[in-house]
Amino acid sequence: MALVINEEQQMLKSSTKEFLDLKSPLSLVREMRDNNYNQFSSELWTEMVEMGWTALTIPEKYNGLNFGYVGLGQVLEEMGRKLTVSPIISTVLTSTSLISLSKNEVLKNMLFQEIMNGNKLCTLAHEEGSHHSPNIEISIVSKKDDVLVLNGKKRFVIDGSISDYFIVSANHESEKNVDLILVDSKSEGISFNNKVHMDSRIYSDISFDNVKIEKDNFLSSNGDGFEILEKTLDIARIGLAAEMLGNVQQAFEMTMQYLKEREQFGVKIGSFQSLQHRSALMFGEIELCKSIVLKALQAIDSDDEKLPELASLAKAKLGQVSKLVTNEAVQMHGGIGVTDDADIGFFLKRTRVTQRTFGDSNFHLDRVAKINKY
Amino acid sequence: METQVKVDLTNFRLETRKWLEENCPISMREPITDAKQLYWGGSKGKFSSEDQEIWFERMLQKKWIVPYWEEKYGGGGLNPEQNNILNQEMSRLGCRKPHINFGISMLGPALLKFASDEQKLHYLNQICKGEVRWVQGYSEPNAGSDLANLQTKADDNGDHFLVTGSKVWTSYGDKGDYIFCLVRTDTSSKHTGISFLLIDMNSEGVTTRPIKLISGKSPFTETFFDSVKVPKKNLVGTLNDGWTIAKYLLTHERQMIGGIGETDKKKSLSEIAIDVLGKNEGILSDTSIRSKISNLEMNEKIFDLTIQRALDEHKAGNNSGAASSFFKYYGTELSIQKEELRLEVNGFNSTEWTSEESRNGLEARYFCRSKGHSIEGGTHEVQLNIIAKRILGLPTK
Ligand SMILES: Cc1cc2nc3c(=O)[nH]c(=O)nc-3n(C[C@H](O)[C@H](O)[C@H](O)COP(=O)(O)OP(=O)(O)OC[C@H]3O[C@@H](n4cnc5c(N)ncnc54)[C@H](O)[C@@H]3O)c2cc1C
């Protein structure tokens, strides 16, 4: 497949940019943070739903747009440029992907409908440790007095504080399978510890204490839980890499603009060769990022067997480059760069969280080595 | 002779050790965990605990607030060897510094070298009593790396100057009593039109506005001067020769910032990594983090050796001059890398910003603050330029 986006995808990208320029400028992130770390603008969400973003990756059979992940990637990239705060990562990128892979038709019909309408927010509750891992160590589904109950602790749940449903990964007590269970966030036995992180977004630690679950609420069946989970994580890694690509491009462009404006020693600071060379190298690194993100997005749409490796390459590379670019961006802004008055710091702080979400570069480099058997 | 000196120093060490053990309150021997535990003195200075006050008072009586300044200036009159011993004994017990002040670390050395006798007697004695909190007024919005471009002007107005303009990045500007400032006294030349002026922050026309950092904290201010009257006797050194003082003082500031990475007495990164990630067959389970930590430690240890070597060479009379730029660059670079690595080690916990568990984002905020290390006191780029120009003698154009 040619490594370019087609005309339709280009149109989606442009209309996304236009929309966000208007509705979600960078200043909105600051505003939401200063408004007691507000996580959700229902007005913005309603408009995103109207733009069709929640339906992008839902198959036609369920009345979705079936536009594919290259398309969603363009939306995420543009959102990355604006650092837009919305439930797209949790509800669309992660949850919708997981639901698509499920064989539970009843749940699929119900959830897709609710998500497309923008009525319900959904998130994956999976992590348990301090670092990303696909494995589950704590959470467990077991039978108690003839009913199924969920016990466990999940960490770092994206949008956990605003979601209506959690999709919880847990080990099944009797079988050696991973279960993926839909849990209403208001169920009895759930308690939250909501934590603001460096990027001003809230991630929740969630405890499940004998939470009753219905047989019908399993998204996994016949032992396919882990497979679905792994694939969902790969898709999430790639989608997040697309957001990170937007982050770095925006931070880079803002910095190039600053180098053209700021004067010291009677000249524009962009005339200093040490800054020029580093800028040129960053340009090159960002070009590399564009290639791997697009390739990985295409691999989701084409169901490429190399998906796991491409997902890890994308997340590892974007983790490294986003660290490089945001550090350089702050440094090249000089003192202003470390003040809250400047917007550039928001990119630094967002990427320090995304670097680790769904696995940091250490994790993914190790995984690439394992996939390639060395 | 030689042996007599040795005996004296040994006695000094024993006496010092005994005195410190008897006089330093136990709680003042704990590592500092919060900036509040430092005592900055000045008219707005408050002790955060009774022990802190006792410790300050005892050191004050002993004249060890600035132990190495001459006694006539209020110092302890210790020679370099004695001072070294005192430092060693203090760190052996873990004694905190009784008082921190830019007057000691930055202004003092400049006054000693450039001020009149009268000024020295007055200001240094004040500093040794912790009475005045000094802040620095160098940078301006358009004079950062190009500091000599500063525009805050001091006009000759008979027996005083009239100062008008603004400074940025005044550390603790809102808490300062006095500010040492670079001001423009001649607009016809760049470097030789700058003077070094001491200004009372309580003068009419001085105001400050906090600068908020990406860490969410505001330890800096912008400082505005609106026709502020400053007596002529507050000029240090010769009129229009302030740049010489500024450069001298920047060297001291650089050494201070370069040392930031070393004061970290908390758990080592490898210990934290073992706690968080666990061991596997006796070694840290995450081998890529393991080699990153050992790489950092290699550089930290070798950097310490290099500082040691520079000091020894200095004592032996070989001055390596512009090396302070390298120390500032490398020391801050290591501290920045360490904070990045700390995030890798601590994973999801590392970016918590407001939680109780993270003590209100202590580490995440410190990480953000570390990004300033490669900017304050002259940026990385400026240090490297100095090395290229002054040490390597590379052509400029
Ligand atoms: C946390 C913090 C604390 C500070 N504390 C103080 C203080 O106590 N007192 C005080 O007076 N000031 C203080 N400063 C100000 C500091 O000294 C300046 O920020 C610094 O000198 C850089 O100036 P600038 O911010 O104007 O950046 P600029 O000079 O505009 O620099 C922007 C970028 O251009 C680069 N650049 C500039 N010139 C060159 C060149 N010739 N070659 C290559 N690259 C170049 C810089 O390195 C930087 O990356 C502090 C700053 C910070 C961030």
Q: Are residues B263 and B235 in the same domain?
A: no
Q: Are residues A184 and A248 in the same domain?
A: no
With pLDDT > 90 as the criterion, what percentage of chain B qualifies? Answer: 83
**Domain-embedded: residue A243:** yes
Domain boundary among A73, A102, A120: A120
Q: Are residues B217 and B275 in the same domain?
A: no
3-class DSSP state for residue B258?
A: helix
Q: Are residues B355 and B326 in the same domain?
A: yes
Which parts of B191-339 are beta strand (E)?
A: 194-200, 206-211, 220-231, 235-236, 279-280, 283-284
With pLDDT > 90 as the criterion, what percentage of chain A qualifies? Answer: 98
Query: Residue A36 belongs to a domain with what CATH number?
Result: 1.10.540.10
B23-37, B43-57, B176-190: least confidently modelled range: B23-37
On whether any CB of chain A is under 8 Å from the CB of B346, the answer is yes
The C-alpha atoms of residue B36 and residue A182 are separated, in whole angstroms, by 48
**C-alpha distances in Å from residue A97, one per residue of A102, A135, A147, A300:** 9, 19, 29, 10
On whether any CB of chain A is under 8 Å from the CB of B138, the answer is no
The residue-averaged pLDDT of B165-176 equals 94
**Domain-embedded: residue A2:** no
Phi, psi of B69 (to 5 degrees): -85, 155
Count the domains in chain A.
3
User: Letter for the amino acid at B236?
Assistant: V
Q: Are residues B282 and B228 in the same domain?
A: no
Query: Is the predicted pLDDT of residue B264 greater than 50, yes or no?
Result: no
CB-defined site of ligand 1, < 6 Å: A 262, 264-265, 269, 272, 274-275, 331-332, 334-336, 338; B 136, 138-139, 144-145, 169, 171, 372, 375-376, 378-379, 381-382, 385
Beta bridge partners of B181: B137, B197
Q: Which of A129, A155, A335 sits opposite B169 (nearest CB)?
A: A335
Query: Is the predicted pLDDT of residue A51 greater than 70, yes or no?
Result: yes
- Mutate which of A203, A336, A338 to test chain B, going by most B C-beta atoms within 10 A? A338
Query: Residue A293 belongs to a domain with what CATH number?
Result: 1.20.140.10
Q: Are residues B228 and B312 in the same domain?
A: no
CA atoms within 13 A on the CB side of B126: 18
**Domain-embedded: residue B278:** yes
- Nearest residue to A326 (alpha-carbon basis) of B7, B368, B278, B378: B368
The residue-averaged pLDDT of A316-336 equals 98
The C-alpha atoms of residue A250 and residue A243 are separated, in whole angstroms, by 11
Q: Are residues B300 and B358 in the same domain?
A: yes
The atom number, within ligand 1, closest to the CA of B171 reads: 8
**How close, in Å, is residue B324 to chain A by CA atoms?**
20
The C-alpha atoms of residue A367 and residue A309 are separated, in whole angstroms, by 8
- B198 CA distance to ligand 1 middle (Å): 23
pLDDT at position B318, please?
76
Query: Is the predicted pLDDT of residue B2 greater than 70, yes or no?
Result: no
**Domain-embedded: residue A304:** yes
Of all residues in chain A, the one with the smallest CA distance to B149 is A265
Count the domains in chain B.
3
What is the bridge-based pairing of β-strands A122-125 and A165-172?
Answer: parallel
Residue owning the nearest CA to atom 6 of ligand 1:
B169
Structural domain for A316, as ranges: 226-371
What is the bridge-based pairing of β-strands B178-184 and B134-137?
Answer: parallel
pLDDT digits (tens, 9 = 90+) for B274-303: 999 999 999 999 999 999 999 999 999 999
For chain A, what is the mean pLDDT? 97
Instruction: Tally the residues of chain B.
Output: 397
**Domain-embedded: residue B116:** no
Contacts of A366 in chain B (CB under 8 A): 288
pLDDT at position B288, please?
93
pLDDT digits (tens, 9 = 90+) for A185-215: 999 999 999 999 999 999 999 999 999 999 9
The residue-averaged pLDDT of B68-97 equals 94
On whether any CB of chain A is under 8 Å from the CB of B286, the answer is yes
On whether any CB of chain A is under 8 Å from the CB of B359, the answer is no
- Mutate which of A195, A275, A328 to test chain B, going by most B C-beta atoms within 10 A? A195
Q: Which residue has the tokens 């480059």?
A: A321
Interface of B with A in 303-332 (CB under 8 A): none
Query: Is the predicted pLDDT of residue B1 greater than 80, yes or no?
Result: no
Domain boundary among A150, A183, A217: A217
Rounded to the nearest 10 degrees, the angle between the axes of helix A225-261 and helix A273-301 is 150
- B123 CA distance to ligand 1 middle (Å): 29
Query: Is the predicted pLDDT of residue B321 greater than 60, yes or no?
Result: no
**Domain-embedded: residue B190:** yes
Interface touch A198/B353, C-beta < 8 Å: yes
pLDDT at position B263, please?
40
Q: Are residues B80 and B6 in the same domain?
A: yes
The residue-averaged pLDDT of B84-88 equals 93
Q: CB within 8 A of A123, min separation 6: which ones?
A: A87, A90, A91, A94, A95, A157, A158, A159, A160, A163, A165, A166, A167
pLDDT at position B320, please?
61
Q: Are residues A46 and A178 in the same domain?
A: no
The residue-averaged pLDDT of A234-253 equals 98
Structural domain for B147, as ranges: 134-242
Query: Is the predicted pLDDT of residue A361 greater than 80, yes or no?
Result: yes
> What tokens appear for B158 in the block?
């008979």
With pLDDT > 70 as the criterion, what percentage of chain B qualifies? Answer: 95
Q: Are residues A67 and A99 in the same domain?
A: yes
**C-alpha distances in Å from residue B210, one per residue of B162, B187, B253, B361:** 24, 29, 22, 21
State pTM to two decimals: 0.93
- B148 CA distance to ligand 1 middle (Å): 12
pLDDT at position B307, please?
87
Domain boundary among B178, B207, B242: B242
**Cβ-contact A202, A160 below 8 angstroms:** yes
Instruction: Count contacts between A and B (CB, < 8 Å).
Output: 121
pLDDT at position B3, please?
79
Q: Are residues A311 and A366 in the same domain?
A: yes
- CA B267 to chain centroid, in Å, comes to 23
Confidence of residue A346 (pLDDT cuts 50, 70, 90): very high
Of all residues in chain A, the one with the smallest CA distance to B291 is A362
pLDDT at position B339, please?
97
Query: Residue A189 belongs to a domain with what CATH number?
Result: 2.40.110.10
Query: Residue B23 belongs to a domain with what CATH number?
Result: 1.10.540
ipTM of the complex: 0.95
Q: Which of B139, B351, B381 sits opposite A197 (nearest CB)?
A: B351
The C-alpha atoms of residue A250 and residue A262 are separated, in whole angstroms, by 18
